[in-house]
């Protein structure tokens, strides 16, 4: 691959890089796609404005099912080097201990994970650091001109630029806002170190619809205890300003049942707040170009399906669609449509959107139907808590039982 470096070279002097696939955006989707395609011997260009992904508040935890998607693509080893595994989670509902879940979760700092994956890219797939200045797409060849004048020609263009709009707009696709200001994701470090925390990890659900709290999850991340809270509020609300100013006071009011175990909610470092919009894409069925991960749809972090959706896109593209597309001439829109119509991708996107909408409704809706649903769910949970207590008492009374 050729990329222009230094002022002595001009576009006219440099032969354009010729690749099978040009991927714009080296986040989770772009980097993992480049890794798998590169390992399979495809000629790939991966372009991002920054060599080092900055440390921004994004996904910080995945479950075992999402880890399996990395495993299936041969990426587990590269991912495992950058995660903190968690195997026991105490779950609080209705102000009481509801369950002790024995399951694997993996926490990480998003920037470190992406940089770790970038470092694990095959030698044949270096990151081209640059901004895309011009894009032209067609049924056979795609042409990218970067801001420094270098040119990349590809059979297929993959847009993996996440929330960013520049390349999407240049290609001419539109983002549709399905639910604007849908929720807030809040991230902060707790002052208590992991070894002083009573539990390895805690999840505590909101109690009242009026609180608009989905849940708080507290988990170890390296040598810190990290907290993510998901609430159905907006950045401009007084509640959000108050939370930023005094998270400890507000957490103690909202979740006193886990305060002692979490070091009285003393917070270390800044409170990061991100507004989440649910979006889909329109006008994406085009010659030569495909949209992947958050560049296609964005869902809500509350149900924790974002990384899973991204990895389903990557898995379908590199195991099914891209090999088939490259094996036949042309790259017209009807060929690319197979990816958007792929039942596995469609099911993953639709389920992600459905649970994102449902999680908000079941937490905040005050109509009769939703109040009845909440009552039914909470009654069932309360019965489970009582049943477990009765069984526990019975066991303690039975002679000879420890
Ligand atoms: C606050 C928050 C919390 C979240 N929590 C969870 C969670 O707990 N669980 C979960 O599963 N999901 C969660 N998500 C969702 C998850 O983080 C995303 O779905 C996922 O990171 C999207 O990956 P991506 O590769 O599509 O986009 P990104 O990782 O955003 O990658 C986009 C890349 O494109 C590059 N780029 C941008 N513009 C250009 C350009 N013009 N030219 C070239 N490159 C460009 C960027 O530099 C970046 O490297 C969360 C999201 C947020 C915002």
Closest C-alpha residue for ligand 1 atom 37: 161
SS3 string, the chain, reads CCCCCCCCCCHHHCCCEEEEEEEECCCHHHHHHHHHHHHCCCCEEEEECCCCCCCCCCCCEEEHHHHHHHHHCCCHHHHHCCCEEEEEEEEEECCEEEEEEEEEEEECCHHHHHHHHHHCCCCCCCEEECCEEEEECCCCCEEEEECCCCEEEEEEEEECCCCCCHHHHHHCCEEEEEEEEEEEEEEEEECCCHHHCCCCEEEEECCCHHHCEEEEEEEEECCEEEEEEEECCCCCCHHHHHHHHCHHHHHHHHCHHHCHHHHHHCEEEEEEEEEEEEEEEECCCECCEEECHHHCCECCCCCCCHHHHHHHHHHHHHHHHHHHHHCCCCCCHHHHHHHHCCHHHHHHHHHHHHHHHHHHHHHHCCCHHHHHHHHHHHHHHHHHHHHHHHHHHHHHHCCCCC
Asked whether 160 lines ligand 1 (CB < 6 A), one says yes
Q: Is the pLDDT of residue 4 over 80?
A: no
The answer, yes or no, to whether residue 149 has pLDDT greater than 50, is yes
**Which pLDDT belongs to residue 16?**
64
| Model confidence pLDDT, tens digit, residues 220-244 | 999 999 999 999 999 999 999 999 9
Check if 43 has its Cβ closer than 6 Å to any atom of ligand 1.
no
Mean of the pLDDT values across residues 41-51?
96
Q: Is the pLDDT of residue 11 over 60?
A: no
pLDDT band at 2 (very low <50, low <70, confident <90, very high): very low
Is 90 exceeded by the pLDDT of residue 331?
yes
Asked whether the predicted pLDDT for residue 12 surpasses 80, the reply is no
Q: What pLDDT sits at residue 391? A: 80
Nearest to 276 by CA among 332, 329, 235: 235
- Residue 48 in contact with ligand 1 by CB distance below 6 A: yes
pLDDT surpassing 70 at residue 192: yes
Amino acid 339: pLDDT: 98
- Average pLDDT estimate for 376-391: 87
Lowest-pLDDT choice from 55-59, 278-282, 290-294, 391-395: 391-395
User: Mean pLDDT of all residues in the chain?
Assistant: 93
Alpha-carbon distances of 171 from 16, 45, 284, 317, rounded to whole Å: 20, 18, 9, 20
Of the listed ranges 102-116, 350-364, 377-391, the least confidently predicted one is 377-391
260 CA → ligand 1 middle, Å: 34
Site to probe by mutation for ligand 1, drawn from 25, 108, 116, 355 as the one with most ligand atoms within 8 Å of Cβ, is: 25
Distance of CA 163 from the midpoint of ligand 1 (Å): 7
Q: How far is the CA of 153 from the centre of ligand 1 (A)?
A: 25
296/163 Cα distance (integer angstroms): 9
Q: For residues 104 and 248, give the distance between their C-alpha atoms in angstroms, rounded to a whole number.
A: 28
Q: Closest Cα partner for 162 from 345, 318, 63, 23?
A: 23
What are the pLDDT digits (tens) for 258-307?
999 999 999 998 999 999 999 999 999 999 999 999 999 999 999 999 99
pLDDT at 1 over 50: no
State which of 135, 182, 217, 307 you would mutate to test the pocket of ligand 1, scoring each by most atoms of that ligand within 8 A of its C-beta: 307
- Does 214 contact ligand 1 (Cβ within 6 A)? no
Measure 313 CA to ligand 1 centroid, in angstroms: 14
Assess whether the C-beta atom of 26 lies below 6 angstroms from ligand 1. yes
**Nearest C-alpha to atom 23 of ligand 1 is from which residue?**
28
Query: Whose CA is closest to 198, among 155, 110, 261, 116?
Result: 261
Question: For a pocket test of ligand 1, which of 45, 65, 114, 160 has the largest count of ligand atoms closer than 8 A to its C-beta?
Answer: 160
Q: In terms of C-beta density within 10 A (0-12 exposed, 13-18 middle, 19 or more buried), how is residue 276 classed?
A: buried
Task: Please give the distance, rounded to the nearest whole angstrom, from the Cα atom of residue 68 to the centre of ligand 1.
Answer: 20
């Amino acid at each position: 691959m050729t990329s222009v470096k230094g002022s002595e070279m001009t576009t006219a002097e440099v032969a354009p890089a010729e690749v099978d696939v040009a991927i714009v955006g080296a986040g989770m989707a772009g980097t993992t796609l480049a890794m798998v395609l590169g390992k399979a011997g495809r000629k790939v260009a991966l372009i991002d404005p920054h060599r080092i992904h900055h440390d921004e508040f994004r996904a910080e935890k995945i479950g075992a099912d999402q880890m399996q998607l990395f495993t299936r693509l041969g990426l587990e080893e590269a991912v495992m080097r950058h995660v903190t595994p968690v195997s026991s989670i105490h779950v609080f509902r209705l102000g009481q201990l509801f369950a002790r879940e024995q399951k694997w979760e993996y926490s990480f700092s998003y920037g470190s994970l992406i940089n770790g994956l970038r470092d694990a890219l095959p030698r044949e797939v270096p990151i081209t650091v640059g901004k895309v200045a011009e894009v032209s797409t067609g049924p056979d060849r795609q042409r990218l001109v970067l801001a420094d004048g270098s040119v990349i020609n590809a059979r297929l263009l993959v847009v993996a630029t996440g929330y960013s709009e520049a390349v999407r707009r240049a290609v001419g696709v539109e983002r549709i806002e399905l639910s604007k200001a849908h929720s807030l994701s809040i991230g902060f470090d707790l002052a208590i170190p992991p070894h002083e925390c009573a539990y390895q990890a805690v999840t505590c659900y909101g109690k009242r619809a009026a609180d608009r709290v989905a849940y708080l999850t507290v988990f170890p991340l390296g040598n810190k205890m990290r907290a993510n809270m998901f609430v159905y509020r907006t950045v401009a609300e007084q509640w959000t300003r108050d939370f930023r100013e005094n998270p400890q006071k507000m957490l103690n009011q909202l979740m006193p049942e886990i305060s002692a175990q979490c070091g009285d909610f003393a917070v270390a470092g800044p409170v990061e707040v991100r507004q989440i919009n649910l979006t889909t894409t329109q006008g994406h069925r085009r010659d030569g170009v495909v949209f992947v991960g958050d560049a296609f749809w964005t869902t809500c972090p509350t149900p924790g399906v974002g990384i899973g959706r991204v990895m389903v896109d990557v898995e379908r593209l590199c195991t099914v669609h891209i090999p088939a597309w490259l094996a036949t001439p042309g790259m017209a829109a009807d060929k690319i449509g197979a990816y958007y119509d792929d039942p596995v991708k469609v099911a993953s996107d639709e389920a992600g959107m459905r649970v994102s909408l449902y999680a908000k409704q079941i937490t905040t809706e005050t109509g009769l139907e939703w109040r009845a649903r909440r009552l039914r769910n909470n009654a069932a949970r309360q019965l489970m808590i009582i049943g477990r207590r009765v069984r526990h008492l019975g066991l303690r009374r039975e002679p000879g039982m420890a």
